[in-house]
Structure 1
């Protein structure tokens, strides 16, 4: 079965989105559930990577152009799916007139985001008890 990436709706797809984020952020990375879910959920545009009925990845973009909550389940990592998902979100943003997007990358993933055209913009900081760096990607 082929993995598809699509725009998702928080109200319709929340169970699938939560399933991925709970596995990756809450269980694996020990992020406090109280800070995982925020006031951006309903207004952000979410995305899902699905293999049939199985959710494999998710991410979102807010109205300010911030990409976040990028997560791929452990079994799908290393397959290129995260890169495809990120490109899908960037294409979505470009198609809606954004001239750039930004994100808070976990520092261990900085290389991944650099390969996707993001560059660091600022100093390292702590978010959810995890080191992060702000990164920006400008569209030509």
Structure 2
């Protein structure tokens, strides 16, 4: 069973950070100093698979619109629908007036976002040593 909940307690936020550290810093070798920014202005989510922490993500308002970020699923939990459940929950949590919704997708995750009507725009770019495309939600 997958449950995705908006983080309200510090204990949940620590689980979010632990997942992000495992996926981005340890597994993908992202520089730790790039991983921890905008935490105080972001809306964080924790995904549980069979009541155990499995994934994390967030959204925040930027000067361009609403940016979905830091989608991470623990390796042992991949392929079980966790990322899709997180994306559904985050999109439903955005304010009703969220006209422009975007994200920076790692190439390997683009298929997931395309299923939810995101479309790649612009050229490929590198972020934290990983190839990405900007993707925008078509409403």
State whether TM-score is above 0.5: yes
Q: Deviations over 1:91-128 (max 9, x none)?
A: 111x4421231000011211221112100111110000
State whether structure 2 residue 81 is matched by structure 1 residue 83: no
What is the alpha-carbon distance in structure 1 between the residues aligned to residue 128 and residue 5 of structure 2? 27
Name the counterpart of 1:9: 8
Name the counterpart of 1:66: 67
Displacement of 1:13 in angstroms is: 2.4
Structure-to-structure mapping, 1:1-140, within 5 angstroms? 2-9=1-8, 11-38=10-37, 40-51=38-49, 54-64=52-62, 65-93=66-94, 95-139=95-139
Aligned length: 136
SS at match of 2:137: strand
What is the alpha-carbon distance in structure 1 between the residues aligned to residue 29 and residue 9 of structure 2? 23
- Uncovered stretches (5+) of structure 1, i.e. residues with no partner: none
SS at match of 1:79: coil
Superposition TM-score, scaled by structure 1 size? 0.89
Superposition TM-score, scaled by structure 2 size? 0.90
What's the Cα RMSD here? Answer: 1.6
Displacement of 1:80 in angstroms is: 1.2
CA change 1:11–1:97 in 2 (3 A) is farther
- Uncovered stretches (5+) of structure 2, i.e. residues with no partner: none
What is the alpha-carbon distance in structure 2 between the residues aligned to residue 6 and residue 43 of structure 1? 17
What is the alpha-carbon distance in structure 1 between the residues aligned to residue 34 and residue 53 of structure 2? 22
Displacement of 1:138 in angstroms is: 3.1
Q: Deviations over 1:10-58 (max 9, x none)?
A: 74522101110011001110001111111x1011001111246521111
